[in-house]
Structure 1
């Protein structure tokens, strides 16, 4: 359920592409200095987006360093450092990665995920108490989601994706102390979270049906138990419309926020990146053929 919120590289200016890489490397560095090297394996682009978005609401000037890293020992990379949004994103990255591993264990009884989740859990002692309180609230939303998934009584996709929308909205609001724009920030995170949940479900649809695993789209919309190809054909236009609607909401809300920097990057993500990712997921099967 990670790695979907990315920019469209072909529409980026070089300076913005380099800046995104500096955020990504800065996030990796922040994870290292707060947790160590092993949790760096959990880094993902969705948390990079979180840092970029939260930092866009702050007017302070970014601080950069140029250095080598474990993956690029011979070529220096640019890192954004001493950034509160990156520090916050680092903690959220590890917390959400841990719960994703637990979900994999629950779904597949994955031995690999069992081992890795146990390793990641050891690093929770490094998480400040205020962030552990945030985790408690996230766990409640995840429990609501898992309860719905296991209930077998799912009336619609909107209801099913609601808890993940709440979780994503909370990840923004727990950092931002902006009462004036609280509602806009909430709905941007809420719509984005629902977009992530649904595109992930559509991306996994074939695999989940093949292995008889839970899939939100299948549970909510496949009331006639159609086989994969027939069901996908019948539902893809509807899913495309739903996802496009959520992406459009995010784009419209962005324009109402007091963005101090990173606007071009965020505009790219909401107007090109999300749609490009949708196109990739929808055409994945045809591309493979």
Structure 2
């Protein structure tokens, strides 16, 4: 698993931890079942959180059995018979596809191209099954590239623009019960992830000469930690804003949620702020890109 939308396990009750483990494993099982074992490389914390939120909001599958963790548990079948879970698996593959396409624009690499080939069958199947989601995600990345080409240095605005694009597909997955409150959560979560990603990648983007909105303003850069120290007020202010917006939109929706609220409370109020702290301290372990799993640029954090 990788990403920034991670629980703070020390603050979780045993029952909430058990529930999170069920989703953690089920996300992987759904990918394997629909798109093959290799597709499980795309499992990430952000999509797991989105699945929990939507499942709780819709009540689609309020309970399903958990999986006993083992070296071969990835080969086990899904426990939840749920269209929502199956659609989220496809959406995860399509998001991964477009992340890899975007990487080719930024800085093509042999390993990134290999990831596209390895996931090729899974991507083709997801494209055939859900062309509308493929189109929505692709257009979201096109908007980001347009803002990059225009030299946008507002990471929060870029993240929110991208988030609103992706929210269309996620609202459709949630079905007729989806509303603007759910869209707001997805939009602000994407903005928070985008902002943390921009901070996390400062050194690598500078060395690779790839686009980073925090570097687009032409500010002096020696290394990531020096840049963070020199721009502490601005960066921390942006992170606090996007996380505050996420928490406010989540709080407004909580009363409509039907299950696992303790899990999502932990992630929103403890886990994501802790991820932001780790990013600012330079100790983040899990960048949100499947390419980095293949390239080994970041450790995959699967501990709980």
User: Would you say same fold, with TM above 0.5?
Assistant: yes
| Count of residues in correspondence between the two structures | 280
Map of 1:149 onto structure 2? 148
Instruction: Give the Cα separation in 2 of the matches to 1:286 and 1:21.
Output: 21
Aligned to 1:189: 186
Unaligned 5+ runs, structure 2 = 286-304
For residues 81 and 147 of structure 1, what CA distance do their matches in structure 2 show? 39
**Cα RMSD after superposing both structures:** 2.7
User: Whole-Å Cα distance in 2 between the matches of residues 267 and 99 of structure 1?
Assistant: 30
In 2 relative to 1, CA 130–39 (structure 1 residues): closer, same or farther, beyond 3 Å?
A: closer
- What is the TM-score when the length of structure 1 is the normalising length? 0.86
Question: Quick one: structure 1 residues 225 and 137, their matched pair in 2 at CA, closer, same or farther if it must change by over 3 Å?
Answer: same
Q: Does the CA contact (< 8 Å) of 2:29 and 2:77 recur in 1? A: no
Change in 2 beyond 3 A, CA 1:68/1:218: closer
Please give the per-residue CA displacement for 1:40-94, whole angstroms capped at 9, x wherever unaligned. Answer: 1221111111111111113343121546765459xx9996421333212211111
Residue 117 of structure 1, CA deviation: 0.5
- Structure-2 change in CA distance of 1:72 and 1:183 (3 Å): closer
CA distance in 2, matches of 1:69, 1:197: 33
Per-residue deviation at 1:26? Answer: 0.8
77 and 131 in structure 1: CA distance in 2 versus 1, 3 angstrom threshold: closer
TM-score (norm 2): 0.82
- Cα gap change, 1:97 to 1:186, in 2 (>3 Å): same
In the alignment, which residue of structure 1 is the partner of 2:214? 217
Matched, 1:166 2:161: no
2:65 — aligned with what? Answer: 64
Encode CA deviations 1:153-180: one digit per residue, 9 max, x unaligned: 325334433332223422431222346x
Aligned residue in 2 for 1:23:
23
Is the radius of gyration larger for structure 1 or structure 2? 1
Pairing 1:266–2:267 present = no
